[in-house]
Chain A
Amino acid sequence: MPDLERDVQDAPAAPAGASSQLQLDAPSAAPVKLGRSIVVTSGKGGVGKTTTTANLGTALADAGRSVVVVDADVGLRNLDVVLGLENRVSKHLLDVIEEKCSLDDALVRDRVRRNLLLMPAAQNREKDDVPEEKMALLVRQLQERFEFVLIDCPAGIEQGFRNAVVGAQEAIVVTTPEVSAVRDADRVIGLLPRNIELKLVVNRVRPAMVKKGTMMSVADVNAILRLDLLGVVPDEREIIIATNRGTPVIDIEGSETGAAFRRIARRMLGEDVPIPSFEDKSNFVTRIMSTLGLGRS
């Protein structure tokens, strides 16, 4: 009988349920090579799902891929605004599902990138109107035409969430380094089907605050969520400006946030891009504070 041997290496924290490789091809037995269907979800609202979907879609398109971004937020659509396409929306997802128009009638082409299209959400209907199987079918149809189908998930865990998830084979869970957001992300992870591949994006990181100890670090976040980290996106005022103008932040010169999204897109395409640790941006923060005369009073 052999002696018991103790292995003294540090065991890496194994993320529960997620594999370590990002597959390039979607698992498919169909004769047609299907694109990848990825839902961008979070649980908590306002952590950057729509911004992430828009920017990753744009970055993937810039890398030469055919991309469709799907707004699954029936009733509260915003993906069109973030992409600056709200004036071009006429038909939408529900019209296609109800066979009132064809897929092509509803798809809106981006003004700049010809290989980036938007499937808009309906504004005036409610999420209970969309049956899950039909949504899954629509996503499948899109996968037959596009290399990437990115689905922008609404906040919450109700029917809207379920509809957004039903067609997805992969999921990007977006969170900010805040207790409430991490808690909600954890909840959502527990509700995602077990066969979906999960990745984590930590958004709105403020390195100065992490340094001061007034913000969770990415390591703190992932000690709870235990997912494969896809990327870390820093917080910047540029995001607000970009969103309001309908320009993706990756198009803003010198934006760290934009650069982070570009790196994430490259990782999604299989490139091994290391995640940088961000430099202290305290100058920016203190500048704002002094302009406003804020700070501790």
Chain B
Amino acid sequence: MQIKGTKSGLLLHLYDRPLAGAVLELRGKLDASPDFYRGSRAVLMLGGESAEAPELAAVIATLEQYGITADGAVCDSDSSAAVARSAGLRLVAASVAAAPRKVDDRTTPSRNGRARRSQAAHDQTRDADEPVTNVYHKGTVRSGQSFEAEGNLVVVGDVNAGAELIAGGDIIVWGALRGVAHAGARGDDAASVYALRLEATQLRISRCIAAAPPADKRRAHDLLPEIATIRDGRIVIVRADQPHR
């Protein structure tokens, strides 16, 4: 069993069955420094085989004892998903659980705590003493380039396929968005992606992920500015001139 830290919290790889052994192992690992992860969120990677509900509940309870809140699960099958849901875990896509995959923030658990409070409240206001940087870029973002912003990210130019944008807040592309954009990367479900031409390969908002639809038959001049947001737990795209809240 592995515990990995990401910018969004902890990832627990729980592939071995039965899960009973996992609890012991978990304790062993966490006892090494019991307060290290206090205040963190955790996503459980459950794989395909379904865990027993009581076992899963035991894992969640154990984590609680160390101040870790399990609030998501990555499941490769419907049966494991059903068990996870009944245990009160939200289903997340694998990538979203681990994104942004850049900095391992295990060394700053207290910041996780602050972030968790503001997310639990589901409000947009940030703590007054935590300034977030917005990023503004002018020019084409090329394949293989990656831009990140703690806050909002604005690109005046195209974002080509193979490029990646990651923001804690909103993403705005004044051009064609053809690459991958991840808004609300720290768990802000209210984040949105705006683009003059929304032709992204893949969109991610908070913990939701959606792939581009099959080749769009719309001609270039029919494409209007669009906004992607989360509605009813999934990403939807609306035309910019239509109500989207």
Contact = CB atoms under 8 A, between A and B. Distances in A.
Q: Do A and B bind each other?
A: yes
Which range holds the interface residue count of chain B? 10 to 19
Interface in B135-158: 139-145, 157-158
A16 B161 contact: no
A187 interface: yes
Contacts of A16: 139-140, 157
A185 B69 CA distance: 45
A191 B141 CA distance: 11
B50 interface: no
B161 A183 contact: yes
Interface of B: 139-145, 157-158, 160-162, 178
A259 to B, nearest CB: 32
A190 B158 contact: no
Contact of A187 (B143, B157, B158): B143
A183 B162 contact: yes
Interface in A165-205: 183-184, 186-187, 189-191
Contacts of A189: 142
The residue in B139, B157, B160, B178 that gathers the most chain A C-beta atoms within 10 A of its C-beta is B160
Given A16-B157, A183-B161, A190 B139 contact: no
B140 A226 contact: yes
A186 B158 CA distance: 12
A184 B157 CA distance: 19
Interface of A: 16-17, 183-184, 186-187, 189-191, 224, 226
7 closest cross-chain pairs (CB), A and B = A190-B142, A186-B143, A16-B140, A187-B144, A187-B143, A16-B139, A190-B145
Nearest to A157: B144
A126 to B, nearest CB: 24
A229 to B, nearest CB: 16
Contact of A226 (B143, B145, B158, B178): B158
B72 to A, nearest CB: 33
A186 B160 CA distance: 8
A294 to B, nearest CB: 27
B218 to A, nearest CB: 15
A190 B140 CA distance: 9
B140 A187 contact: no
A224 B161 CA distance: 9
A189 B160 CA distance: 12
18 contacts: A17-B139, A17-B140, A183-B143, A183-B161, A184-B143, A186-B142, A186-B143, A186-B144, A186-B161, A186-B162, A187-B142, A187-B143, A187-B144, A189-B142, A190-B142, A224-B158, A224-B178, A226-B140
A226 B142 CA distance: 11
B222 to A, nearest CB: 16
A161 to B, nearest CB: 13
Which of B139, B141, B144, B158 has most A Cβ within 10 Å? B144
Contacts of A184: 143
Contacts of A187: 142-144, 162
A61 B144 CA distance: 37
Nearest to A15: B140
Given A186-B162, A224-B161, A226-B140, 14 more contacts: A17-B139, A183-B143, A183-B161, A186-B143, A186-B144, A186-B160, A186-B161, A187-B142, A187-B143, A189-B142, A190-B141, A190-B143, A190-B144, A224-B178
